Amino acid sequence: MSLYKPTRRSLIQTGAIAGAGLALPTYLRADGHSGFTNAPTGDTVTLGFNVPQTGPYADEGADELRAFKLAVEHLNGDGDGGMMNTFSSKELKGDGILGKKVEFVTGDTQTKSDAARASAKSMIEKDGAIMISGGSSSGVAVAVQGLCQEAGVIFMAGLTHSNDTTGKDKKANGFRHFFNAYMSAAALAPVLKNLYGDDRNAYHLTADYTWGWTQQESIQAATEAIGWNTVNDVRTPLAATDFSSYIAPVLNSGADVLILNHYGGNMVNSLTNAVQFGLRDKQVNGKNFEIVVPLYSELMARGAGENIKGIPGSQNWDWKLDDDGTKGFVKSFGEKYGFPPSQAAQTCYAQTMLYADAVTRAGSFNPCAVGEALAGFEFDGLGNGKTLYRADDHQCFKDVLVVKGAENPESEFHLVEIIEKTPVDQVTYDPEHPMFAGGDLGQCNPGA
Residues in touch with other proteins (CB under 8 A): 55-59, 232, 234, 237, 239, 241-242, 244-246, 248-249, 251-252, 265, 268-269, 272-273, 276-278, 281-282, 284, 299-300, 302-307, 319, 330-331, 334-335, 339-340, 410-411, 413
SS3 for 290? strand
- Could you tell me the smallest distance in angstroms from the CB atom of residue 58 to other proteins? 4
- Could you tell me the smallest distance in angstroms from the CB atom of residue 246 to other proteins? 6
Q: Are 108 and 374 in contact (CB under 8 A)?
A: no
Q: Are 444 and 371 in contact (CB under 8 A)?
A: yes
Identify the H or E element spanning 13: helix 8-23
Quick one: 305 or 363, whose CB is closer to other proteins? 305
CA distance 294 to 260: 7
Quick one: 111 or 149, whose CB is closer to other proteins? 111
CA distance 41 to 62: 30
Quick one: 53 or 364, whose CB is closer to other proteins? 53
Quick one: 93 or 282, whose CB is closer to other proteins? 282
Quick one: 264 or 313, whose CB is closer to other proteins? 264
Quick one: 281 or 407, whose CB is closer to other proteins? 281
- What is the chain's Cα-based Rg? 23
Identify the H or E element spanning 144: helix 138-151
Quick one: 336 or 390, whose CB is closer to other proteins? 336
Q: What is the 3-state secondary structure (H, E, C) of 183-212?
A: HHHHHHHHHHHHHHCCCCEEEEEEECCHHH
Buried b (16+ CB within 10 A) or exposed e, 242-281: ebeebbeebbeeebbbbbbbbbbbbbbbbbbbbbebebbe
- Could you tell me the smallest distance in angstroms from the CB atom of residue 143 to other proteins? 21
- Could you tell me the smallest distance in angstroms from the CB atom of residue 207 to other proteins? 12
- Could you tell me the smallest distance in angstroms from the CB atom of residue 290 to other proteins? 15
- Could you tell me the smallest distance in angstroms from the CB atom of residue 270 to other proteins? 10
- Could you tell me the smallest distance in angstroms from the CB atom of residue 381 to other proteins? 20
Of 88, 126, 101, 134, which is closest to residue 361 (Cα–Cα)?
A: 88
